[in-house]
Protein backbone atom coordinates (compact mmCIF):
# COMPACT_ATOMS: atom_id res chain seq x y z
CA UNK A 1 0.00 0.00 0.00
CA UNK A 2 1.41 3.40 -1.03
CA UNK A 3 1.69 6.55 1.09
CA UNK A 4 -1.42 8.11 -0.47
CA UNK A 5 -3.57 5.05 0.18
CA UNK A 6 -2.23 4.76 3.73
CA UNK A 7 -3.01 8.43 4.41
CA UNK A 8 -6.56 8.01 3.11
CA UNK A 9 -7.05 4.95 5.31
CA UNK A 10 -5.79 6.80 8.40
CA UNK A 11 -7.77 10.00 7.80
CA UNK A 12 -11.04 8.43 6.62
CA UNK A 13 -12.48 7.96 10.16
CA UNK A 14 -11.85 11.64 10.92
CA UNK A 15 -13.49 12.62 7.62
CA UNK A 16 -16.56 10.54 8.48
CA UNK A 17 -17.04 12.38 11.77
CA UNK A 18 -16.36 15.77 10.19
CA UNK A 19 -18.91 15.11 7.45
CA UNK A 20 -21.50 13.97 9.98
CA UNK A 21 -20.95 17.14 12.04
CA UNK A 22 -21.20 19.30 8.92
CA UNK A 23 -24.42 17.65 7.74
CA UNK A 24 -26.09 17.99 11.14
CA UNK A 25 -25.04 21.64 11.44
CA UNK A 26 -26.37 22.35 7.94
CA UNK A 27 -29.70 20.67 8.69
CA UNK A 28 -30.10 22.63 11.92
CA UNK A 29 -29.28 25.90 10.19
CA UNK A 30 -31.64 25.20 7.27
CA UNK A 31 -34.62 24.44 9.51
CA UNK A 32 -33.61 27.33 11.78
CA UNK A 33 -33.47 25.37 14.99
CA UNK A 34 -31.87 27.12 17.96
CA UNK A 35 -29.60 24.51 19.54
CA UNK A 36 -26.32 24.80 21.40
CA UNK A 37 -22.87 23.38 20.64
CA UNK A 38 -23.24 20.57 23.19
CA UNK A 39 -26.41 19.37 21.43
CA UNK A 40 -24.76 19.29 18.00
CA UNK A 41 -21.56 17.69 19.29
CA UNK A 42 -23.52 15.00 21.11
CA UNK A 43 -25.68 14.00 18.15
CA UNK A 44 -22.74 14.04 15.75
CA UNK A 45 -21.03 11.56 18.09
CA UNK A 46 -24.19 9.43 18.42
CA UNK A 47 -24.60 9.06 14.66
CA UNK A 48 -20.90 8.57 13.96
CA UNK A 49 -20.07 6.06 16.70
CA UNK A 50 -21.78 3.00 15.14
CA UNK A 51 -19.93 3.58 11.85
CA UNK A 52 -16.57 3.99 13.59
CA UNK A 53 -17.18 0.98 15.82
CA UNK A 54 -17.89 -1.16 12.76
CA UNK A 55 -14.63 0.00 11.16
CA UNK A 56 -12.76 -0.72 14.39
CA UNK A 57 -14.14 -4.26 14.59
CA UNK A 58 -13.31 -4.85 10.92
CA UNK A 59 -9.74 -3.72 11.55
CA UNK A 60 -9.47 -6.07 14.52
CA UNK A 61 -10.68 -9.03 12.48
CA UNK A 62 -8.30 -8.16 9.65
CA UNK A 63 -5.33 -7.98 12.02
CA UNK A 64 -6.21 -11.27 13.69
CA UNK A 65 -6.24 -12.98 10.29
CA UNK A 66 -3.03 -11.24 9.24
CA UNK A 67 -1.35 -12.09 12.53
CA UNK A 68 -2.25 -15.75 12.11
CA UNK A 69 -0.75 -15.74 8.63
CA UNK A 70 2.27 -13.65 9.65
CA UNK A 71 1.65 -11.12 6.89
CA UNK A 72 0.30 -7.65 6.24
CA UNK A 73 -0.32 -5.94 9.61
CA UNK A 74 1.36 -7.94 12.41
CA UNK A 75 0.45 -6.77 15.90
CA UNK A 76 3.09 -5.12 18.06
CA UNK A 77 1.42 -5.57 21.43
CA UNK A 78 1.28 -8.63 23.66
CA UNK A 79 -1.94 -9.89 25.31
CA UNK A 80 -2.88 -8.06 28.52
CA UNK A 81 -4.39 -9.45 31.74
CA UNK A 82 -8.12 -9.08 32.37
CA UNK A 83 -9.32 -5.51 32.97
CA UNK A 84 -11.02 -5.17 36.37
CA UNK A 85 -12.72 -2.54 38.50
CA UNK A 86 -9.47 -1.76 40.33
CA UNK A 87 -7.90 -0.84 37.01
CA UNK A 88 -10.84 1.45 36.31
CA UNK A 89 -10.44 3.12 39.70
CA UNK A 90 -6.70 3.67 39.14
CA UNK A 91 -7.43 5.22 35.75
CA UNK A 92 -10.03 7.58 37.25
CA UNK A 93 -7.54 8.82 39.86
CA UNK A 94 -4.82 9.18 37.23
CA UNK A 95 -7.20 11.12 34.98
CA UNK A 96 -8.11 13.59 37.74
CA UNK A 97 -4.44 14.18 38.53
CA UNK A 98 -3.48 14.66 34.87
CA UNK A 99 -6.43 16.99 34.26
CA UNK A 100 -5.39 19.19 37.19
CA UNK A 101 -1.68 19.13 36.28
CA UNK A 102 -2.35 20.07 32.64
CA UNK A 103 -5.13 22.60 33.23
CA UNK A 104 -3.10 24.94 35.43
CA UNK A 105 -0.18 25.62 33.02
CA UNK A 106 -2.48 25.69 29.97
CA UNK A 107 -4.68 28.33 31.62
CA UNK A 108 -1.61 30.37 32.57
CA UNK A 109 -0.29 30.22 28.99
CA UNK A 110 -3.73 31.13 27.62
CA UNK A 111 -3.97 34.14 29.91
CA UNK A 112 -0.44 35.28 29.06
CA UNK A 113 -1.08 35.01 25.32
CA UNK A 114 -4.69 36.21 25.61
CA UNK A 115 -5.96 33.16 23.74
CA UNK A 116 -9.67 32.70 23.13
CA UNK A 117 -11.35 29.44 24.13
CA UNK A 118 -14.70 29.98 22.43
CA UNK A 119 -15.11 26.33 21.39
CA UNK A 120 -14.93 24.94 24.94
CA UNK A 121 -16.91 27.86 26.36
CA UNK A 122 -19.64 27.13 23.82
CA UNK A 123 -19.76 23.46 24.82
CA UNK A 124 -19.87 24.24 28.55
CA UNK A 125 -22.48 26.98 28.14
CA UNK A 126 -25.12 24.65 26.74
CA UNK A 127 -27.79 22.44 28.25
CA UNK A 128 -26.38 20.61 31.29
CA UNK A 129 -27.98 17.31 30.25
CA UNK A 130 -26.15 17.30 26.91
CA UNK A 131 -22.96 18.40 28.64
CA UNK A 132 -23.04 15.42 31.03
CA UNK A 133 -24.50 12.73 28.78
CA UNK A 134 -23.00 13.99 25.54
CA UNK A 135 -19.79 15.94 26.09
CA UNK A 136 -18.75 13.95 29.18
CA UNK A 137 -19.76 10.41 28.12
CA UNK A 138 -20.80 9.82 24.50
CA UNK A 139 -18.23 12.12 22.89
CA UNK A 140 -15.26 10.57 24.79
CA UNK A 141 -16.36 7.08 23.73
CA UNK A 142 -16.60 8.19 20.10
CA UNK A 143 -13.26 10.01 20.22
CA UNK A 144 -11.46 7.02 21.72
CA UNK A 145 -12.76 4.70 19.02
CA UNK A 146 -11.82 7.34 16.44
CA UNK A 147 -8.39 8.48 17.59
CA UNK A 148 -6.99 5.54 19.57
CA UNK A 149 -8.91 2.63 18.07
CA UNK A 150 -8.73 3.71 14.42
CA UNK A 151 -6.30 6.57 13.73
CA UNK A 152 -3.53 5.43 16.10
CA UNK A 153 -3.90 1.74 15.32
CA UNK A 154 -3.92 2.40 11.57
CA UNK A 155 -0.86 4.64 11.86
CA UNK A 156 0.92 1.75 13.60
CA UNK A 157 0.33 -0.38 10.51
CA UNK A 158 2.72 1.87 8.56
CA UNK A 159 4.99 3.60 11.12
CA UNK A 160 7.05 3.01 14.24
CA UNK A 161 4.98 3.03 17.40
CA UNK A 162 6.49 6.22 18.88
CA UNK A 163 5.93 8.12 15.63
CA UNK A 164 2.38 6.81 15.36
CA UNK A 165 1.70 8.03 18.91
CA UNK A 166 3.00 11.55 18.17
CA UNK A 167 1.09 11.86 14.90
CA UNK A 168 -2.12 10.53 16.45
CA UNK A 169 -1.81 12.95 19.39
CA UNK A 170 -1.16 15.84 16.99
CA UNK A 171 -4.23 14.96 14.91
CA UNK A 172 -6.28 14.67 18.11
CA UNK A 173 -5.08 18.12 19.18
CA UNK A 174 -5.62 19.88 15.84
CA UNK A 175 -9.09 18.35 15.56
CA UNK A 176 -10.09 20.34 18.66
CA UNK A 177 -10.00 23.50 16.54
CA UNK A 178 -8.47 26.25 18.71
CA UNK A 179 -5.14 27.13 20.28
CA UNK A 180 -6.04 26.55 23.94
CA UNK A 181 -7.53 23.13 23.29
CA UNK A 182 -4.52 22.21 21.13
CA UNK A 183 -2.21 23.08 24.04
CA UNK A 184 -4.25 20.81 26.29
CA UNK A 185 -5.18 18.06 23.82
CA UNK A 186 -1.71 17.22 22.50
CA UNK A 187 -0.21 16.11 25.84
CA UNK A 188 -3.57 14.60 26.79
CA UNK A 189 -3.55 12.66 23.52
CA UNK A 190 -0.09 11.30 24.38
CA UNK A 191 -1.30 10.29 27.85
CA UNK A 192 -4.39 8.58 26.43
CA UNK A 193 -2.21 6.53 24.09
CA UNK A 194 0.07 5.61 27.01
CA UNK A 195 -3.01 4.50 28.99
CA UNK A 196 -4.24 2.51 25.98
CA UNK A 197 -0.87 0.79 25.61
CA UNK A 198 -0.53 0.12 29.34
CA UNK A 199 -3.90 -1.63 29.72
CA UNK A 200 -4.26 -2.94 26.17
CA UNK A 201 -7.99 -2.20 25.85
CA UNK A 202 -10.03 0.77 24.63
CA UNK A 203 -11.94 0.69 27.91
CA UNK A 204 -8.92 2.22 29.64
CA UNK A 205 -8.67 5.48 27.61
CA UNK A 206 -12.48 5.67 27.48
CA UNK A 207 -12.66 5.70 31.31
CA UNK A 208 -9.78 8.18 31.46
CA UNK A 209 -11.38 10.49 28.87
CA UNK A 210 -14.83 10.36 30.48
CA UNK A 211 -13.31 11.20 33.87
CA UNK A 212 -11.46 14.22 32.45
CA UNK A 213 -14.49 15.56 30.57
CA UNK A 214 -16.96 14.88 33.38
CA UNK A 215 -14.78 16.55 36.00
CA UNK A 216 -14.36 19.58 33.70
CA UNK A 217 -18.12 19.82 33.07
CA UNK A 218 -18.97 19.55 36.79
CA UNK A 219 -16.33 22.06 37.85
CA UNK A 220 -17.59 24.54 35.26
CA UNK A 221 -21.23 23.99 36.28
CA UNK A 222 -20.45 24.59 39.97
CA UNK A 223 -18.64 27.89 39.44
Confidence of residue 221 (pLDDT cuts 50, 70, 90): confident
Residue 72: predicted pLDDT: 53
Burial class (CB in 10 A: 0-12, 13-18, 19+), 11: middle
Nearest CA-CA partner of 202 in 162, 146, 163, 126: 146
Q: Are 207 and 149 in contact (CB under 8 A)?
A: no
Q: What is the pLDDT of residues 21-45, one digit of tens each?
A: 999 999 998 988 888 889 999 999 9
Phi–psi pair at 169, nearest 5 degrees: -65, -40
Positive or negative: CA dihedral 207, 209, 215, 218: negative
What does the pLDDT average to over 165-174? 97
Position 70 scores a pLDDT of 58
Residues contacting 91, CB < 8 A, separation 6+: 195, 199, 204, 207, 208, 211
Task: Note the pLDDT of residue 6.
Answer: 92
Instruction: Residue 149: name the closest of 214, 198, 193 by CA.
Output: 193
Query: Measured between alpha carbons, how far is 3 from 9 in angstroms, rounded to an integer?
Result: 10
The pLDDT tens digits of the residues spanning 52-77 come to: 999 999 999 998 887 666 555 545 44
Helices (H), 31-160: 37-69, 85-113, 118-123, 128-129, 139-143, 153-156
Q: In the structure, what pLDDT confidence band is assigned to residue 119 with cuts at 50, 70 and 90?
A: low
Q: Give residue 108's pLDDT band: very low, low, confident or very high (50, 70, 90).
A: confident
Higher pLDDT, 16 or 107: 16
- Averaged pLDDT score across all residues of the chain: 89
Amino acid sequence: MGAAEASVRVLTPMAIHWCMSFVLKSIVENVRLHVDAAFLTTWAAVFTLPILWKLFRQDERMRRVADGMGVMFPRRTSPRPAFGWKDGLRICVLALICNLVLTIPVNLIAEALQLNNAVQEGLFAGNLFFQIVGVAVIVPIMEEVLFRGLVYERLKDYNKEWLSALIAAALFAVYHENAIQILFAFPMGCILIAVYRRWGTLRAPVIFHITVNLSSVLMTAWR
